[in-house]
């Protein structure tokens, strides 16, 4: 979505969804920084997408400790909300929003059923974690499933102080869940796009503006002044091309057109030959990205 957003005009509905996705990822990163402070014996699994009996569910963070599993649904909401009669509403307008506790309870139920089917019986406790300091929830329950921003550090400290000794069973739980992770969820949606409609060029690794050529070996960004070797920028661009067009063959001509500012076909061929496996005859040569790259 980020690659497409930099190279085409995304429809408004998709653009709003993309902004929400970005905000969600920022919240998960903020939560990750809190969990990384835990020195006690726990196993952390992040961004799991699992399926049980044809029901797909996603888990932001799973923490496996000796006696229980903590499941965290992370929200990066900001603004003022009220929790009333088991529902979340925007304070100013009174508008009801989708209840994130329902999503949390669904994930806990499906994970428990999945683990039971795999032969693991271990208590699971779910928490709804709000990470944005600009978030306020009025009438929040004093104790329970909801963790407010001001409570998160104390909660992590409590987990860190709780004795936890892991054994091979905990490792097997993590291994089985990793094996069942769906890297490409079937409900993942992208706007329709074709190669011809995308803007060509090399995107800045920092600000996502289009870069300019500066000399034979350097490209620079006029927006944020980031500088990068031409070779590294071509490699990044190839990676982005493969992400967007996994079924297209990587050829010298196509990558030169994709990068646009590298006018030397020989330079493109040199980079591709150095980092990818060549296949086909000289006239119809293309390059293969090896799986371990």
pLDDT tens digit sequence for 180-204: 999 877 666 778 899 999 999 999 9
- Region 37-61: mean pLDDT is 94
Q: What is the pLDDT of residues 121-177, one digit of tens each?
A: 999 999 999 999 999 999 988 768 999 999 999 999 999 999 999 999 999 999 999
The C-alpha torsion from 250 through 254 and 258 to 259, rounded to 10°, is 90
Q: Which of 257, 252, 246, 254 shows the shortest CA–CA distance to 282?
A: 252
| Residue 291 clears pLDDT 60, i.e. is over it | no
Report pLDDT digits (tens) over 96-124.
Answer: 999 999 999 999 999 999 999 999 999 99
Cβ atoms 32, 81 nearer than 8 A:
no
Distance (Å, rounded) from C-alpha 234 to C-alpha 256? 9
Question: What integer pLDDT is reported at residue 201 of this predicted model?
Answer: 94
Which pLDDT value is given to residue 293? 47
First-residue to last-residue Cα distance in the chain: 22
pTM of the predicted structure, to 2 decimals: 0.78
Q: Which helix (H) or strand (E) holds 275?
A: helix 265-275
pLDDT at residue 110, rounded to an integer: 97
Q: Where do the structural domains in the chain lie, given as residue ranges?
A: 2-179, 200-288
pLDDT of residue 11: 86
216 against 143, higher pLDDT: 216
Q: How far is CA 77 from the centre of its chain?
A: 17
Average pLDDT, the chain: 92
């Amino acid at each position: 979505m980020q690659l497409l957003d930099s190279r085409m005009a995304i429809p408004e509905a998709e653009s709003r969804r993309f902004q929400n996705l970005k905000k969600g990822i920022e919240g998960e990163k903020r939560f990750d920084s809190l969990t990384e402070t835990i020195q006690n014996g726990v196993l952390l699994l992040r961004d799991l997408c699992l399926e049980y009996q044809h029901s797909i569910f996603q888990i932001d963070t799973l923490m496996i400790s000796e006696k229980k599993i903590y499941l965290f649904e992370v929200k990066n909401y900001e603004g003022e909300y009220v929790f009333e009669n088991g529902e979340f509403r925007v304070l100013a307008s009174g508008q009801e929003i989708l209840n994130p506790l329902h999503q949390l309870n669904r994930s806990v139920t499906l994970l428990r059923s999945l683990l039971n089917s795999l032969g693991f019986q271990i208590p699971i406790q779910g928490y709804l974690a709000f990470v944005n300091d600009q978030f306020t929830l009025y009438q929040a329950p004093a104790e329970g499933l909801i963790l407010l921003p001001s409570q998160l550090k104390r909660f992590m400290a409590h987990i860190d102080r709780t004795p936890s000794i892991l054994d091979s069973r905990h490792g097997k739980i993590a291994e089985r869940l990793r094996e069942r992770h769906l890297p490409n969820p079937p409900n993942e949606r992208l706007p329709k796009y074709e190669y011809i409609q995308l803007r060509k060029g090399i995107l800045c690794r920092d600000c996502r503006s289009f870069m300019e050529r500066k000399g034979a070996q350097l490209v620079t960004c006029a927006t944020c002044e980031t500088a990068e070797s031409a070779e590294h920028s071509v490699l990044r661009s190839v990676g982005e091309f493969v992400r967007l067009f996994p079924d297209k063959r990587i050829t010298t001509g196509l990558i030169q057109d994709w990068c646009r500012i590298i006018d030397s076909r020989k330079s493109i061929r040199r980079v591709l030959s150095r980092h990818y496996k060549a296949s086909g005859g000289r006239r119809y040569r293309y390059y293969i990205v090896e799986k371990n790259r």
